[in-house]
Amino acid sequence: MRYLYDGPEHSPHLFLFAHGAGAPMTHPFMARVAKGMGERGIRVVRFNFPYMEAEKKVPDRQPVLLDAWRRAIEEHGGGKRVVIGGKSMGGRMASMVADEMHVRGLICFGYPFHPPAKPDQLRVAHLEQLRTPTRIVQGTRDTFGTPAEVATYALSPAIEVTWIEGGDHSLKGGLDRAVDCAVLFILGH
């Protein structure tokens, strides 16, 4: 796998960061988050899932995405060394391997609780039992999960949701605050 690195090479804090379904690791959102975290002393590692690396539009099936996560974790020292997370789909897939890989923590930027306009197609069952310390940073205008909707979900007590007022699925208008939340979470784990 190919990786992009931001932040100090010998930082004790390592964050593995995966992209969302429609944009690669070089997307401005990904670059801005990685740069912001790197400037605050976090070593950030970005990677593309196989379909994105092959320049395909349709995401790989879930087993392929999860295997990419496992590989990235192993290639960076194993779970005890890293905090993992991602944007939307990247964060969702990270949440599915976090407990298995015994990572230090999990950060999801814009978790896709359900597809837009399909609130009955929930993607939260595994979040009920999640044991890994988790921070979800979500915009209050995110069509993948609003504050009112998320308040009704039976999420694990290991999960803390931070709301970015006025933010959409890309946390527009609050991305700097989202980065600050992520950095504080990592420094504490």
Instruction: Give the start-to-end residue ranges of the domains of the chain.
Output: 3-187
Indicate the CATH number for domain 3-187: 3.40.50.1820
The strand pairing partners of 46, in sequence order, are 4, 17
- pLDDT the model gives residue 172: 93
| Alpha-carbon distances of 74 from 5, 148, 160, 180, rounded to whole Å | 16, 37, 26, 27
Q: What is the pLDDT of residue 189?
A: 82
pLDDT by position in tens, the chain (length 189): 999 999 999 999 999 999 999 999 999 999 999 999 999 999 999 999 999 999 999 999 999 999 999 999 999 999 999 999 999 999 999 999 999 999 999 999 999 999 999 999 999 999 999 999 999 999 999 999 999 999 999 999 999 999 999 999 999 989 999 999 999 999 998
Distance CA 124, CA 111 (A): 10
pLDDT at 169 (0 to 100) = 96
State pTM to two decimals: 0.96
Comparing CA positions, the residue from 129, 156, 172 lying closest to residue 33 is 172
